[in-house]
Amino acid sequence: MGEPREEHLSLEALRTFARAAGIGHDDRRLAELAPKIAQQFRDLARLREIDVAGYEPAIWFSAAD
Amino acid sequence: MSDELVFASLTELAAMIRSRAVSPVDVVRATLEHIERIGSALNCYITIMGGEAEKEAERLEQLLGEGAYLGPLHGVPISLKDNICTAGTRTTAGSPILEHWVPDQDATAVQRLKAAGAIIIAKANLYEFAFGAPHTRFGPTHNPWDLDRSCAGSSSGSAAAVAAGLCHASIGTDTGGSIRIPATLCGIVGSKPTYGLVSRAGVIPVSYNMDHVGPMTRTVPDAAVVLQAMAGPDPKDSTTVPATLPDFLSIIEDGVQGLRIGILAPQATEAIQPEVREAVRRAYAVFDREGATLSEVVLPDLTQARTVNWVICGAEAAEYHRPYLRTRAGDYHPVVRALLEGGEFIPATDYIHAQRVRRRFTEEVRSALAGVDVLILPAAALEAYRIGQRTVMLDGLEEDVLQANTRYTPLFDLTGHPALVLPCGFSSTGLPIGLQVVGKPLDDARVFRVARAYERATDWHTRRSRLTANQA
C-alpha cells in the first residue's frame, strides 16, 4: 500500500489504511476523523520538505539496555 | 501567621522549619486550611492527601526533635501532577480510564523528594493524560488571577496551586510546554530541566523521547532546590544522564555581569500579543542594565518545530494508548481521543523523518548557543485566555489558542535543552506574562543564575492574585 496522501482521503482509503494498520474504527468514526487526518497529512507533507541530509534520527537509547 | 506560612518561599519556609521557628505540623495544617478555603474555586487538585500529609508532618517534626534533618525539603508541602505515580494513592492522569488506579510504587522523583523531607500534600489536576484538554470528569483548572481564565496545560493544577499558595512547589511534566505554559499563565517559575536530568520512571508517558519532569515554584532558588533533590541518574530510566550532578545553587546569586545573552531574531510566523512583546523587550533592557551583552541569534523555525514535536509526540502517545483506544475509546475526552487516533495515522517513515529533523534542529540550537551563554525569548505568545476560548486574533490573523500558546516551547522539548520560565510583567487586564531562559545541555545552573538575576532586579514574582490577596 502506498503512503496515503490528502487527495486519496476518501472513506475507502481511510478504511483500507485503518484495516492494514490494525486500527479498528467503524465507518462513522473514520468519517469523523477524516478532516483531521487530511490536515495531518498536509502537515506531514510540509515536514517532508525539510532537508535532513546528513542527519541521523535523534532517537534516544542506551547501549546499556 | 497562616498567610505568612503558605506564601513564604520554599527556601524561606525550609529555613524556618530547620531553625524550628515553625513546625511541619503547623505548615501542613495551614496549607490544608488554605486549600479548604480556596481550593474548590480553582479546581486545581484531584486528590488531597490530608491525612497522610498530617501523619508525615508529625513524623518529620519528631525527627527534628531528635536532631535529624532529612534535607532541604524537610517538612515542605509539595504537590504532584497526577500523572506521577504515588504508592498507595490513586494516580488518575486526569482520565476516567485511570480514575481508580492505585500504583504500588512511587515514581523515582517522588522517592527522592520524600528522601529530602518533602511532604506530598496533593495530586494536581491536569489535561487528560497530559495531552490536549482537561476531561469533563475532572473539569478545567481555574486561573487564580481570573477564575474565568484558563491555566492552559497540561500541568494546570500544579501552576494554579503554586500561584495560590496551596503548596510550596509542585512537580509537573513538559513534553511541548506543559510546565512552562501554565507556569507563565499563572505568574510562577517553571523549570524544564535538561532531558535526562530527572528520571521519568513512574511517570505516565506522553512521549518517551520528550517527556521532562521538573519543578514549578514561586521563586527561582526554590526551583533550583527542588530540582537538586529530584535530579540524578536512575537505573530505572536508561535516558537519565550519568553525569555528576552540579550544584544548582552554587552560582545562582552571581548575576549576569559579563554574560552573553542571545535574543530571538524575529521569525516570519511569530505572531504574538503586543503586550507580551513589549514586556519581553523591557526584560531585555533589564538584562542590559544588569551588565549582560545582548545579541540576536537565529533559531529553527518555531512553527516547524511545533509540527515535528507533534509528529513524534502523536505517534509515541498513540502507541502507548493503543490498548485503551481499542477498549475504552469512548472514555477519553473527544479532543484527546481525536489527537491519539490521529497519531495512529502517522506513517513510520514520517516519524523517522521527524526524528532526523529533530537532530538537525538540536544542532542548530547548539550552534545558536555556541556564541552566547543563554537565550532569552517569550514563554507564551498570549496572556491567559478565557476557559472555553478556541481562537485568538494575533497580528490580524485568527489562530487556535493552543497553537498560539505553544509557539515558544516545543523546540526545547525536541532538543532537550534546559528551559525555565519566570514572570516578567502583567498585561493591562492584570494577567501574568512570562519570559523564558534557555541554556546549554546540563548547564541548568546557569539558567537559574540568569533567571535569578532578573528576579532580583524586578518584583513581578512578589505579586499576588486578587483571589489569594482577599482570602488568604
pLDDT level of residue B412 (50, 70, 90 thresholds): very high
pLDDT the model gives residue A61: 55
Cβ neighbours for A20, distance < 8 A, ≥ 6 positions apart: A1
Question: Vertex B124, ends B118 and B127: CA angle to 5°?
Answer: 145
Q: Please state the domain extents for chain B.
A: 2-471
**Rounded to an integer, what distance in angstroms lies between the CA atom of residue B237 and that of residue B109?**
11
Report, at the CATH architecture level, how domain B2-471 is classified: Alpha-Beta Complex (3.90)
In the block, residue with C-alpha cell 492552559 = B152
User: Which residue has cell 540568569?
Assistant: B450
Which residues of B are annotated as catalytic? 81, 154, 178
pLDDT of residue A22: 77
Question: What local confidence, expressed as pLDDT, does residue B1 receive?
Answer: 57
What pLDDT shows up at residue B472?
A: 44
Pairwise CA distance, residues B325 & A16, whole Å: 19
How many Cβ atoms from other residues are within 10 Å of residue B328's Cβ?
A: 14
- Please give, rounded to a whole number of angstroms, the shortest distance from the CA of B304 to a CA of chain A: 7
Residue type, B289: R
| Residue A25 belongs to domain spanning | 6-48
The shortest CB-CB distance from B239 to any of A21, A46, A62 is to A62
Q: What is the mean pLDDT of residues B185-208?
A: 97
ipTM: 0.82
Q: Is residue B81 scored above 60 in pLDDT? A: yes
The stretch B376-387 carries a mean pLDDT of 96
Contact between chains at A50 and B360 (C-beta distance less than 8 A): yes
Residue A64 lies in a domain: no
Identify all chain A residues contacting B346, using CB atoms and an 8 Å cutoff. 40, 44
The b/e string for B345-382 (b: 16+ C-beta within 10 A; e otherwise) is bbbeebbebbbbbbbbbbebbeebbeebbbbbbbbbbb
Per-residue pLDDT reduced to its tens digit, A7-55: 456 788 888 888 877 777 788 888 888 888 888 999 999 999 999 999 9
Q: What is the pLDDT of residues B306-315, one digit of tens each?
A: 999 999 999 9
Place of cell 510583567: B425
Q: How far does the CA of residue B173 sit from the closest CA of chain A (Å)?
A: 18
A60 occurs within a structural domain: no
A62 has a pLDDT exceeding 80: no
Say if residues B86 and B105 touch (Cβ distance below 8 Å).
no
- For an interface test with A, the pick among B302, B325, B345 (most A C-beta atoms closer than 10 Å) comes out as B345
In a domain, A62, yes or no: no
Q: Domain tally for chain A?
A: 1
Residue contact A36–B338, C-beta within 8 A: yes
Residue B341, Cα to own-chain centre: how many angstroms?
A: 26
Q: Do B356 and A57 touch (CB under 8 A)?
A: yes
- pLDDT of B137 > 70? The answer is yes
Among B197, B237, B269, B344, the residue to mutate for chain A (most A Cβ within 10 A)? B344
What is the least distance, in Å, from the CA of A58 to any CA of chain B? 5
- pLDDT for residue B446 is more than 60: yes
Give first-to-last CA distance, chain B, whole Å.
10
Give per-residue pLDDT as tens, B50-80: 999 999 999 999 999 999 999 999 999 999 9
